Amino acid sequence: MALALSACADFSGISPQSKLADGNSLSAGAELTSIANTAWPTSAWWQSYRDPQLDTLVQQAIADSPNLKIAQARIRQASSLAGVARAATLPKVGAEASSTRGLYSTEYIFPPPLGGSWNWDNEFTVKASYDLDLWDKDRSALESALDTVHVSAAEARSAQLNLEVAVVRGYLQLATQYALRDIASSTLTQQTSIASIAQRKLTAGLGTKLELSQAETALPEARADIEKIDENIALLRNQIAALSGKGPGSGDAIQRPQLAARLVGADNSAPLAVGLPDNVPAHLIGRRPDVIAQRWRVEAMDKNIDAAKAAFYPDINISAFIGLQALGFTHFLSSAASVRGAGPAISLPIFEGGRLRANLGAQTAALDAAIESYNNTLVQALQSVADQIIKLKSLQQQRGQSEQALALATQSYDLAKRGYQAGLTANINVIQTQLVLLQQQQHVTQIRAGYLDSWAQLMQALGGGLGDDLPQPASTGAAEIAAEK
């Protein structure tokens, strides 16, 4: 009868609409297939920059960042909630004791002299119950909770990767500002030298006040540029310190990055390689923590649908009790006061006003949303890899052209300066060639810094070596399960 009546609660017509994207089906594109092969990033990928201070700062951030501690707390919270779900699948045993003094009615089941008198009603029982969970409702809820633990673990890895990249990129900006300060300081020195030459020529009667004024006009602006760069350096130090969960005072201890020397002048270090591992679209699924987190979320939502469907069927519980029950204390501890019993209990939904169907519909929609979120994350992950490869290849070409332009600008400036010192050219020519040289120096520095920054973003796009050891969902994904449902 219970099974027949449960048919009144029907879940037909409610099924998932979305399907998981297959990494193998995504086209990598020409930019990804024509690139050289390299290994996947390691968990300490930033060490490729060969700057010990950067290594220390990243490790400090990982150890002390409040954001990572929040992510770790979420893992512990999810694990505890999984423990709550596990408890629902186990037998329950409890004890109850009560002692109540009351006046018994003469018009109830107790005859005089008990009726109409005051007495004690004493009871002590041990009760046990177990839900047979024939339709795996509790087990599905437990599996969903365990999948949520995996989600939290993957999200914690994703937060760590984002933190590492934020520290590295902030440090690269700091190195860039130091390099630009070198250029600005050198420019101020050269402009001061030109102004000094103009002053000596005016004193000797060989120059004009216009030439001196033109030379001195550039000095305040050059000093302002240096002040602005110093401001940026201080702000970036504070930013890096904050990423590590420390105060601004910690940022004051950050020294000039060794990377700055590679951004100005000749760079004889080996360039960071531009390459990709084999079959990036398919393997990215098991490498990027954010993709893995979305996949586990799909699995958790799928288990919630199983639990929602099981709610349509009857629940069967087996319970038992044993204890003592007596009026008064005289015979409370005797065998005559013993009570015991056991038996099944069944509950089933018949007419729930659409609650069960609405709940199943909500869980199904949640699964569809999780699947589409996974698909979107996977597509964006592949796009970010392609974008950084395009940027790196372009920056390689730009660097060659900009360094050639810098060499020509340096040559022009040297010629103009020697000509001015010999009295063969006007001061304005020196200033103009110097401005061109400054622009080329800044351009080369920014391109080199941009290359290092794009390489860091490529490591992030490839998962940064933080997802390859995370547990993976079963090979039978939610797409196939959803199709069965």
Task: Give exposure, 446-457, as e/b (b: 16+ Cβ within 10 Å).
Answer: bbbbbbbbbbbb
DSSP assignment of 289-337 equals: HHHHHHHHHHHHHHHHHHHHHHTTSPEEEEEEEEEEEEESSTTTTSGGG
Q: What is the dihedral of CA 63, 67, 72, 78, to 10 degrees?
A: 180
Q: How far is CA 60 from the centre of its chain?
A: 18
Average pLDDT over residues 181-208: 83
pLDDT per residue over 369-392, tens digit each?
999 999 999 999 999 998 999 999
Q: Would you state the pLDDT for residue 218?
A: 81
pLDDT per residue over 396-414, tens digit each?
899 889 888 988 988 998 8
Quick check: 351 pLDDT over 90? no
Nearest Cα neighbor of 411 from 384, 439, 433, 444 is 433
Q: Would you state the pLDDT for residue 270?
A: 67
- Of 196-205, 302-311, 445-454, 461-470, the range with the lowest mean pLDDT is 196-205
Radius of gyration of the CA atoms of the chain, in A: 37
Quick check: 366 pLDDT over 90? yes
Q: Would you state the pLDDT for residue 317?
A: 92
The one-letter code for the residue type at 445 is: T
Contact status, residue 305 vs residue 367, Cβ threshold 8 Å: yes
Q: What angle do CA 388, 392, 396 make, to 5 degrees?
A: 170
CATH of domain 93-131+315-347: 2.20.200.10
pLDDT per residue over 113-145, tens digit each?
888 889 899 999 999 999 998 889 999 999 999
The fourth-level CATH superfamily of domain 15-89+133-313+353-484 is: Outer membrane efflux proteins (OEP) (1.20.1600.10)
Average pLDDT over residues 36-62: 91
Quick check: 2 pLDDT over 60? no
- Which has more pLDDT, 158 or 285? 158
Q: Would you state the pLDDT for residue 159?
A: 95
Quick check: 48 pLDDT over 70? yes
In angstroms, rounded to a whole number, what is the distance separating the alpha carbons of residues 272 and 451?
Answer: 9
At 13, give phi and psi (nearest 5°): 85, 0
Nearest Cα neighbor of 120 from 107, 101, 135 is 101
Q: CB-hemisphere CA count at 13 Å for 126?
A: 3
pLDDT per residue over 240-288, tens digit each?
999 988 888 888 899 999 888 888 766 666 678 888 888 888 888 888 9
In angstroms, rounded to a whole number, what is the distance separating the alpha carbons of residues 208 and 211?
Answer: 5
Average pLDDT over residues 317-328: 91
Quick check: 485 pLDDT over 60? no
In angstroms, rounded to a whole number, what is the distance separating the alpha carbons of residues 81 and 36?
Answer: 46
In angstroms, rounded to a whole number, what is the distance separating the alpha carbons of residues 376 and 374?
Answer: 5
Q: Which residue has the tokens 């951030």?
A: 61
**Domain boundaries in the chain?**
15-89+133-313+353-484, 93-131+315-347
Q: How confident is the model at residue 478 (pLDDT cuts 50, 70, 90)?
A: very low
Q: Where are the alpha helices (DSSP H) in 111-259?
A: 137-203, 209-243, 248-252
Q: Would you state the pLDDT for residue 353?
A: 64
Mean pLDDT of the chain: 87
In angstroms, rounded to a whole number, what is the distance separating the alpha carbons of residues 44 and 183?
Answer: 32
Q: Would you state the pLDDT for residue 255?
A: 93
Task: Give exposure, 166-178, as e/b (b: 16+ Cβ within 10 Å).
Answer: bbbebbbbbbbbb
Q: Report the helix count and the strand count for the chain, using DSSP H and E.
A: 13, 4
- Which has more pLDDT, 337 or 352? 337
First-residue to last-residue Cα distance in the chain:
26
Q: How confident is the model at residue 208 (pLDDT cuts 50, 70, 90)?
A: confident
Task: Give exposure, 192-219, as e/b (b: 16+ Cβ within 10 Å).
Answer: eebbebbeebeeeeebeeebbebbbebe
Q: How confident is the model at residue 100 (pLDDT cuts 50, 70, 90)?
A: very high
In angstroms, rounded to a whole number, what is the distance separating the alpha carbons of residues 59 and 47?
Answer: 11
Instruction: Kindly give, in sequence order, each residue whose CB lies less than 8 Å from that of residue 85, ignoring residues fewer than 6 positions away.
Output: 138, 141, 142, 144, 145, 146
Contact status, residue 263 vs residue 179, Cβ threshold 8 Å: yes
Share of the chain above pLDDT 90, in %: 48
Contact status, residue 55 vs residue 46, Cβ threshold 8 Å: yes
- Distances from the Cα of 33 to the Cα of 265, 287, 393, angstroms: 34, 19, 14
- Distances from the Cα of 20 to the Cα of 295, 305, 378, 429, angstroms: 9, 16, 10, 65
Share of the chain above pLDDT 70, in %: 93
